[in-house]
Every structure is written in C-alpha cells, then in structure tokens.
Amino acid sequence: MSEHVRPNYILIWAYLFFLTVIEVAAAFLSHIPKHWLILILVVLAVVKALLVAMYFMHLKFERWRLRLIFIIPLPLAAILVLATITEKIW
Amino acid sequence: MTHATATANMMHPPAPAEPGSGVYSNKLGMWVFLASDVMFFTALIGSYIILRFGLSEPWAAPGAVLNVPLTGINTFLLICSSVSMVKAYAAIADGKKYFLRSVPGKMLQDGGLKFWMLVTILCGAAFVGVQVFEYFKLVQHGLTPAGFREGSHYAELALADPVKYGAATAGLFGSTFFTMTGFHGFHVTCGVVSMLYLYFTKVLPEKYSPTDFRGIETIGLYWHFVDLVWIILFTIVYLI
C-alpha cells in the first residue's frame, strides 16, 4: 500500500452503522412506495459497499492498476445478469 | 549455481513490493481471487433477482418469515469486525504488537494487534453462531430449502395468508435464501478459521513487524470483502 494519511476508521464505522439504521427504518417503518424503496435501499447498500472498499480495503489509496483488478469484473457481472434477464424476457 | 545456493536463495523472504505489479504477490493473488469471488456472488445474486422478479406469483415478505432484528444485530457484528480488522492492520503498521497497554493521561487502554485480531475473530465467530441459530429456528418453524414443511407453523400461516407468505413461491424463497446466506456463512467460517490459524502461529508469537505484515493485510482484504458482500445480501434478501 502506498503511503497516505490514515482515514478515521471509527468515523467510517459510524457512517456504516447509521446507514444500516436508516436502511432498516426505511424498509419497515416508512410508507415509501415499493419502487422508490428498492431504489433507496440499493443506493444505500452501494454507498456502504463503496465505503468498505475505498477506506477499509484501501482502494482509494491504491494504484489504478490494482483498482482495475477489482473494477473489471463489475461490468462483466452486470452483463451476466442483463444477459440472463434478456433470456427470461425472450 | 549449486543446488545448495539455489535452496538458500529460495528461502529468502520476498521483497515487500515486487516490480511490475507494484504490490507483493500475496496481495495481488488475494485481489485476483476477490475479483473471481465477485463473479461467484454475482451468479448467486443475479439468479435470485431473475427468479424473484421474473415471477408473477407473490414472493414472501422477508419481514414476515425472516428474523430481521436478529440479522440486523448480526450485520452490526460484522461491521464491528471489519473495523476491528482495519484497527489490527493499523496497529501492526505502527508496530503495536501487544494486547492492551496503558497510555498516560487516557482512561482507555490502547489496543494492539493481539487485541484487535481477537476482537475480529470473536465478532466473526459470533456472526456464524447467530446465523446457525437463525437457521435452526427457521427450520424448526418450517422453512427449508424445499419450501415450507407440511404441517409446520409457516405452512399454516401460508395457508391463511398466501400472499404475505408467498405460498406459491416458498420453494424458491427457501432455496435461494439458504444458498446465498449459506455460501456467505461458509466464507465467514473460512475467514474465522484462517484468522485463528494466523493468531496462534504468527500474531501471538509476534512474527509480524511494521515492515512485514503481509498476512494481516491479505486476510484483512478477504474479511472486508466478506463484509461488503453481506451489506449487499442483507439489503436484497432481508430488506427488499
């Protein structure tokens, strides 16, 4: 890992905790329409996953060539799901 | 080069960062493995999305069948274990090999590698324990990978309210739930076993130093990835 200013890990933990509380509250205590709820929950989950990847896994501080190893499968994963959905539609 | 010299050279520890990739091989190997694991979990999650949203029959409301508050606590445990893992990483990077040490002027003691690794292992083991308890209760109440067991509590509830309990899709609900959470639980178990091995063979004998703690960084990457996957799984299986 390259040298960098160390992030405040406890602050990241607090973000993850509060985002999880918001997720559970939105899912069970709110009256948001289902389509909007799914969108909100997915966005919150992606934000939490990014926090873990960027700060706990230190991807934010790594070189691009290492980041690419993790990023390249993501569009492939999307293609895999979309291709299967297309098959279902046909 | 004689055989003896070649053997001696092979015994030398590898350089902390190898030319080319810019990182040492263990770390590069873990990243490549994690990239393959992304595809593995995509296959499971993608199948779940297609099976669930491609159906015209209603799917069981997760809150009706699954114990969401208990799993919420489990999610909290895994997030805590992730932060304790990164604290273990930071501790050894700063040369803190100890368990706990008093700091003048501070009420709380300062945790070292031994302390934070132990916290991570305990949180991970607790996560697996809670998941086993959850499985036990679900099977006891009638949710199996084949759907609701005949005559069980859930089967009766599904008869009374087939829409809320997704009576027509209970088989798919059970099989996708146990497959996804089961494979994730298997990953967590492998992580706990690996960390226990490292704890007794490397951490306690103080074999890591601020200049070489590759094992901690590599297992840390794996552990954070397991946490990352759970964040996605918790949302799509338990909340949506």
The answer to whether residue A2 sits within a structural domain is no
pLDDT of B2 reads: 47
The answer to whether residue A4 sits within a structural domain is no
The answer to whether residue A57 sits within a structural domain is yes
pLDDT of B20 reads: 60
Count the Cβ atoms, other than its own, within 10 Å of residue B177: 22
pLDDT of B8 reads: 45
CB contact under 8 A, A81 and B50: yes
- pLDDT beneath 50: ranges in chain A: 1-2
* DSSP class of A62: S
Is A69 an 8 Å CB contact of chain B?
yes
The answer to whether residue A65 sits within a structural domain is yes
**Complex ipTM, two decimals?**
0.91
Phi, psi angles (nearest 5°) of residue A5: -70, 130
pLDDT of B21 reads: 64
Show the domain range for A37: 9-89
Our CA-based measurement puts residue B149 at a distance from the nearest CA of chain A, in whole angstroms, of 27
Distance, CA of B222 to CA of B31 (rounded, Å)? 9
**Nearest chain B Cα to A6, which residue?**
B90
Q: What does the block give as tokens for B97?
A: 């090999």
The answer to whether residue A1 sits within a structural domain is no
**Nearest chain A Cα to B34, which residue?**
A70
pLDDT of B193 reads: 98
CB contact under 8 A, B83 and A9: yes
Question: What average pLDDT values come out for chain B (240 residues) when binned by 10 residues?
Answer: 47 56 85 93 91 88 92 95 96 93 88 96 98 97 95 94 93 96 98 97 95 94 97 94
Which residue in this structure is represented by tokens 């069970």? A28
The answer to whether residue A3 sits within a structural domain is no
Is A74 an 8 Å CB contact of chain B?
yes
Is A37 an 8 Å CB contact of chain B?
yes
For B170, how many CA atoms within 13 A lie in the half-sphere containing its CB? 27
**Could you give the number of structural domains in chain A?**
1
Q: How far is CA B135 from CA A87, B62, B106, in A?
A: 33, 14, 43
Our CA-based measurement puts residue B77 at a distance from the nearest CA of chain A, in whole angstroms, of 10
pLDDT of B54 reads: 82
Beta strands in A1-56 (DSSP E): none
Our CA-based measurement puts residue B5 at a distance from the nearest CA of chain A, in whole angstroms, of 32
pLDDT of B56 reads: 84
The answer to whether residue A22 sits within a structural domain is yes
CATH of B65-239, one of 3.40.50.1220, 1.20.1250.20, 1.10.238.10, 1.20.120.80: 1.20.120.80
